[in-house]
Structure 1
Amino acid sequence: MTPKILIACDLAESFRDRLKKAGFSLAVVPGRDALADSLKGVQGLFIGARFRFTRELLEQADCLEAISFCGAGVGTYVDEETATRNGIAVMNAPGVNADAVAEYALGFLLALQKFLIAENNAIKTGSPLRAMNFSVRGMIIGILGMGHVGRRIAEILFHGFRTPVLYHSRSRKPQAEEALAARYVSFDTLLSASDALFLCLPETDETHGMIGAGELARMKKNALLINPARPGLVDGHALFQALRDGVIRAAAFDGYYLSHPYPPTPAEDAFGLLSLADDRFLCTPHVASRNRKVWDDLFEQATANLLEFFATGDCAHIVNPGFRDHRRRKTG
């Protein structure tokens, strides 16, 4: 039987052609309201960040064997527990966008240290300029999560700014410690010692809201919180209060607390963060990886994952190996 693949993202035509030439038949999701019906009878699902595939949706995917995501943090868009229970392999493209996200996160650091947005606005409106900005070199930089993105941030800081980092992660990274002079510290030490703290870990049940009022209170008064990952890592109410009251100096997020496409209306800003001045809170709509080369690389890896899975029944980038205990049939 020819596997049928449902495309639920803006997959470039060249990658669709590769799948067709490999013997797959393709269908495209016409819209959010048609998701449930579109999932019936398909063996593969090719997704980006447009839709979230919940338990209710996956339970209706009667033939689905594999989901390939064009990115790393697939857990935000797929209910992995339901996929595993239903024998559906979930695959991602880890590390492909690490350079782009690291560059973007460091752009936030420079913008906040140099007051780039505020100074731009000042000169265009005739407002007073700031007297001083701050250097990056000499800062104590903390990284929470030393995966692909965290490691790349550490590399750029070490080689470009001669600034080693402190880090906390689920496991120690001896190679980073040796090559980049990175120093492993406890979570509490990371909070209290960092002049700028980068959040570089996925949002899970365990990490959701892990930066709350107590954690913010332990940070330095002049500290920066830079979050190129998911906004849900941080308690939005606590962050607003911390920024409003000067508990920390500023924060920058690539992504906001929304369940729908941008932009939000003022009434939808439940936390009030978007009302803060630019030198207090910077926010962009989760676009660090919006880069043609990165997208092509992500499409390439996600396509390769599907081809490998349906040829062999396995793939190196499966994030839920427990699916094998429930799989519906052997593929390939």
Structure 2
Amino acid sequence: MADNTKPWRIVAVRRLSKPQLDTLSEIADVSYFEDITTTNRADFMSALATAHGLIGGKLELTEAMLAEAPLLQVVATISVGYDHLPLEALSQRGILVCNTPDVLTETTADTAFALIMATQRRLVELSNMVREGHWSAHISSAHFGTDVHGKTLGIVGAGRIGAAIAKRGALGFSMPILYTAGTSKPALEQELGAQRRSLEALLSEADIVCLSVPYNDDTHHLINAAALAGMKPTAALVNIARGKVVDEDALIQALRRGQLRAAGLDVFSQEPLQADSPLTAMHNVVVTPHIGSATHETRDAMAQLAVDNLVQALAGKGPRTPVNERHWRRTNNTQEG
């Protein structure tokens, strides 16, 4: 039953700890859903119909759902990306969207470098060889990997995460750094000696290409058949961005034809990745289940940031990491608190 003494109603979905839920409960009547299924979807929609705030991970929100949520003021997604949300429709309605950048930068960069190491040194393939009982003699050159130190690392998208990956490569492994970005990055160039390139030039020069761009219309299938054909046949592709940044069918074909030596993938066009995907059967492909930010510490920090954003926004104050604050302030005539 709703507590009429509290001014707000919040719907929370996934990833929130008890202390975080307690924080929300101090200011609002909270409806918490560990997951949204066919069994509880009607209950979720009923709660959303009277909600002022929505918070959670992997939020599924459509324009049709918005039409049934007339009181909604703030959506706090526990993620950096917000391509799963109808941002334009939310902005038109004056609904604030907040995300959780920064707190996952280092962890996601760690994941990227783990994939770099795994693809270069064939860690998963050779570990499976041992587990399956096929290590019966000293390994031959057929099992050799490729060095990481000194190789040229190409960063496609030199934002926070891309820059963190570049630092690991340059400072930890003496890797020359190439990057693509909408504007030059003087700090990155000065600190790491990074050099800005066009996408085509980067793909042709880099030994390892790491994707860390946001997903949007401009980056959909940014890495397509033509782009893959422009890479070195000895190169590896690592994707921690979004699955649809890569034309997955074209990638599979490039790997089969030997146009590309290896791939390390944490994201896919369809998630979860289907068990019968050709990618799962390729020894030169490392696949992980979208674990970029999946550590206890980072996920808790992301959730806490989302909680802080939601609480501050409902109080009429400026949240820490808004996405479309201008639309929200204009519609609600909200002043900085």
Normalising by structure 1, report the TM-score.
0.90
1:253 aligns with 2:265: yes
Question: Are 2:267 and 2:290, in contact at CA under 8 Å, matched by a contact in 1?
Answer: yes
The offset of 1:102, in angstroms, is: 0.7
Counterpart among 291, 294, 298 of residue 294 in structure 1: 298
Picking from 316, 323, 329, the partner of 2:327 is 323
In the TM superposition, residue 255 of structure 1 has moved relative to its aligned partner by 2.3
Q: Check if 1:113 corresponds to 2:120.
A: yes
Please point out which of 90, 104, 112 is paired with 1:83: 90
1:124 deviates by 2.9
The reply on whether 1:169 has 2:178 as its aligned counterpart is no
Partner of 2:101: 94
Q: State the distance in 1 between where 2:154 and 2:191 align.
A: 17
Unaligned ranges ≥5, structure 2: 1-5
Whether the 8 Å contact between 2:78 and 2:303 is mirrored in structure 1 is yes
State the SS of the aligned residue for 1:327: helix
* Deviation of 1:322 (Å): 4.6
Measure, in 1, the Cα distance between the counterparts of 2:195 and 2:282.
34
RMSD: 2.0
Distance 2:325 2:204 in 1: 37
Residue aligning to 2:132? 125
SS in 2 for 1:142: strand
Number of the residue aligned with 2:3:
none
Equivalent in the alignment of 2:247: 235
Number of the residue aligned with 2:70: 62
Written as runs of structure 1 = structure 2, the 5 A alignment for 1:1-332 is 2-21=7-26, 23-29=27-33, 31-32=36-37, 33-34=41-42, 35-49=44-58, 51-75=59-83, 77-127=84-134, 129-131=139-141, 132-259=144-271, 262=272, 264-266=274-276, 269=277, 272-277=278-283, 279=284, 281-324=285-328, 327=331, 330=334
Q: Provide the rounded CA distance (Å) in 1 between the counterparts of 2:280 and 2:321.
A: 37
CA contact (8 A) 2:243 2:270 kept: no
Change (3 A) 1:263 1:177: closer
Aligned partner of 2:117: which letter?
L
1:237 to partner: Cα distance:
0.9
**What is the CA-CA distance between 1:320 and the residue it aligns to?**
1.8
Per the TM alignment, residue 328 of structure 1 is displaced from its structure 2 partner at its CA by 5.4
Matched residue pairs, number? 321
